[in-house]
Amino acid sequence: MSGLVPESVQKVAHAALGSREGDKLKDLAHDTKDTTNKDRLTTDYGVKQGTADDWLKVVSKDKTGPMLLEDPFARERIMRFDHERIPERVVHARGSGAFGKFRVFESAEDLTFAPVLTDTSRETPVFVRFSTVVGSRGSADTVRDVRGFAVKFYTDEGNWDIVGNNIPVFFIQDAIKFPDVIHAVKPEPHNEVPQAQTAHNNFWDFEFNHTESTHMFMWAMSDRAIPRSFRMMQGFGVNTFTLINAKGERHFVKFTWTPELGVHSLVWDEALKLAGQDPDFHRKDLWEAIANGVYPKWKFGIQAIPEADEHKFDFDILDATKVWPEDLVPTRYIGEMELNRNPDEFFTQVEQIAFCTSHIVPGIGFSDDPLLQGRNFSYFDTQISRLGINFQELPINRPICPVMNFNRDGALRHTITRGTVNYWPNRFEVCPPASKEEGAYVEYAQKIAGIKARMRSDKFKDHFSQAQLFWNSMSAVEKRHIINAFAFELDHCEDPVVFGRMVQRLADIDLNLAETVAELVGGEAPKQGRPNHGRRARALSQTEFPGSAPTIASRRVAILIADGYDHVAYSAAYAALSSALAVPLVVGTKRSKVTAANGSSTQPHHHLEGFRSTMVDAVFIPGGAKSVEALAKNGRALHWIREAFGHLKTIGATGEAVDLVQGAIALPSVSVSSSGDAHESYGIVTLKDLRPESLTEAVTIAKGSAGFMEKFFYGISQHRCWDRELDGLNTLV
């Protein structure tokens, strides 16, 4: 360690400084201070302070007495503290972020002349902020909500922001409705309840009254709204943008990010528990992966429609409540983003970053998407009240290319612009506008003719076809989760008008869905449903994105032990997990030293009370007669095993621990090994008669492998054992 900056962070930062990606880091270095032991405490105006503990007082003999307002040190401290908070974001208040880099591996020059999308040799620095939408800054990470996925590219032509979500559509079609939808979803005005939840009367009342929301609320009730990790979600620009190529041709486009690790979600019970047990679960997960060098990566994709084809679809391509089905407009993946550096300071980087949909660079344009047009106004405006008019000067926001203009003054102006003129044109010809050849942004000459009116295109009026398309495209497990999500949400609406009408609305999507939910929540079953067109589309079900290769990198695996554990199995598992870049976490009956049967010992990372099964992806329990006996008598240990089973996690056990797992789960359909051969049943991987040589450190993760570790790792790489749920075995939570 040097100063207070962890070495791992420094190493990455220094490596990046030599590269193109390091340009933003170099820029930030001008404003970055390390806290070191050499520094001495000073006031903000630089005077050294001799004490940090006592306010200046008039003291009597017993050293007590009134405090003096004169004390400038104390006043500075208190006043600075009084003003530490700035307004939190009105939406997306809770988030976390990281630095990284972006590069295209295939030029999109047929679509655009923007070098960030055409120059395959260029590395563009990025900062990404992930967020929830509804909750306050201090709310929990794992609530059911849409996730923000906002990317700032620091390009040589200026900053380009894609301010996206992990769901490709939105609740409303026209920006004028945004205050209504957000008021409805936020805590209710009379009692400020509930926090960070869609499960309340006002939200579902709004949804019923806005049929255009139907498609989006189906996504919000799906597993997409409870991601396992920010690193395991897709990102979508949602709005329709345009790209202009060197020939002056224009395409309508949508942007997509697809994670290398695949799209994976928590199960609902796990998400609910984590909100209390580890409210920072996603924030820590991102930090941990980057600190461990398992950098999250996403492929960047574009869907493009030539300008001439704008009206060839049965939906309006400018309607943000619609996807462009992959079967009609395939995504072409052309680039990759990697996040590889954690922030140095949360407030000045993650909190003060200011995204604006209006930040685009030459070669990229807007469309007449009525949601996007409104967003272009809103983001700049909101930054003014959140950060002040000079927000673009904050280190995290300023571009890495030159900035020069005659915008001046305002609160907290930072830049000192020398020179005698602050207007154009001027007699010195200082700072003239650029020509197109010099890289000026030139608007596409779009022909427009029309009348001034408050209207929407007729195609915007179809609010159900794509909601049906989404439902039809779900897997059996996903459908079940959506039904359960509605059952949970509507159960939290006490007003019978609200849940009663919502179950009727579900009949516009699928009668069976509506009937099932009606029965669960106590609404009147709809008599008739809207005919379902029966069509399905690719890429809507998240099961189509399992990841580029089976891996357990960055997966958290608990190893449960007590005194007397089998050290051979323990250390083989620990080593194999580490070499596969997973995160082994040893959880003991206590956190003080635990001694193995052979006299070796280990210091667990956690103990069973402090750490819960919800916080890991899989569990391994080595044998050892005494250890297993202790775990079997420990209610929390048994609950760990049952809960991990109920949450569909892979569980591995060797030696005596096989009987422990079998006893805890006690389901006849789940069999365990009785011999020296590794055995797998419903994601329970067991090896009764352990021969040390059967536990290898180098594990190939592939389907159908014979070894214990191979089977165990393959199970983890599959994220969850869905067969347990399909066969109704997941009730032990």
Q: Which tokens go with 651?
A: 């569980």
What distance in Å separates the CA atoms of residue 275 and residue 143, rounded to the nearest whole number? 7
Q: What's the burial of 425, exposed, middle or buried (CB within 10 Å: 0-12/13-18/19+)?
A: exposed
168 makes contact with ligand HDE (CB under 6 A): no
For residues 166 and 334, give the distance between their C-alpha atoms in angstroms, rounded to a whole number.
19
Least distance to ligand HDE, CB of residue 145, Å: 12
Cis peptide before 425 (omega within 30 of 0): yes
Residues 6+ apart with CB under 8 A from 17: 25, 26
Residue placing its CB nearer to ligand HDE in the complex, 148 or 325? 148
Measured from the CB atom, is 22 or 168 closer to ligand HDE? Answer: 168
Choose between 337 and 732: whose C-beta lies nearer to ligand HDE.
337
Q: Per the annotation, does 154 bind a ligand? A: no
Only segment of 337-345, 376-384, 436-444, 518-526 that touches ligand HDE (CB under 6 A):
376-384
Dist. CA 265–CA 229, nearest whole Å:
7
| Contact status: 90 vs ligand HDE (CB under 6 A) | yes
Burial 133-167 (b: 16+ CB within 10 A, else e): bbbeeebbbbbbbbbbbbbbbbbbbbbbbbbbbbb
Of the candidates 241, 281, 379, 574, which one interacts with ligand HDE according to CB under 6 A? 379
Q: Which one among 178, 574, 611, 708 touches ligand HDE, defined by CB under 6 A?
A: 178
Q: Residues 99, 102, 153, 170: which binds ligand HDE (CB under 6 A)? A: 170
**233 with 172: CB under 8 angstroms?**
no
Report whether 174 contacts 320 (CB < 8 A). Answer: no
The number of residues that bind ligand HDE (CB under 6 A) is 26
Q: Which residues are catalytic?
A: 92, 165
How far is it, in rounded angstroms, from Cα 422 to Cα 405? 8
Decide if residue 95 touches ligand HDE (CB under 6 A). yes
Reduced to 3 states (helix: H, G, I; strand: E, B; else coil), residue 127 is strand
- Can you tell me the distance from the alpha carbon of 294 to that of 288, in angstroms, rounded to the nearest whole number? 9
Rounded distance, CA 450 to CA 19, Å? Answer: 50
Rule CB under 6 A: choose which of 16, 140, 150, 151 binds ligand HDE.
Answer: 150
In 565-618, alpha helices (H):
567-579
Alpha carbon distance 46, 175 (integer Å): 48
> Binders of ligand HDE among 30-89, rule CB under 6 A?
89
Of residues 355 and 574, the one with the C-beta less far from ligand HDE:
355
Per the structure block, which two tokens stand in for 232?
A: 């395991």
Judged by CB under 6 A, does residue 580 bind ligand HDE? no
Q: Which is nearer to ligand HDE, 182 or 431 (CB)?
A: 182
Q: Is 716 in the site for ligand HDE (CB under 6 A)?
A: no
Between residue 380 and residue 409, which ones bind ligand HDE under the rule CB under 6 A? Answer: 382
3-state secondary structure of 680: strand
Structure tokens at 238: 């949602």
Which residue stretch of 26-34, 220-228, 374-382, 587-595 sits at the interface with ligand HDE (rule: CB under 6 A)? 374-382
Is the four-CA dihedral 622, 626, 628, 631 of positive or negative sign? negative
Nearer to ligand HDE, 150 or 498 (CB): 150
**Does residue 163 interact with ligand HDE by CB under 6 A?**
yes
The stretch among 161-169, 276-284, 566-574, 681-689 that binds ligand HDE (CB under 6 A) is 161-169
Closest contact distance (angstroms) between CB of 397 and ligand HDE is: 11
CB of 142 to ligand HDE, least distance (A): 18
- Binding residues vs ligand HDE (CB under 6 A): 89-92, 95, 129, 131, 148, 150, 163-165, 170, 175, 178, 238-239, 320, 354-355, 371, 374-375, 378-379, 382
Annotated binding site: 379
Binding residues for heme: 379
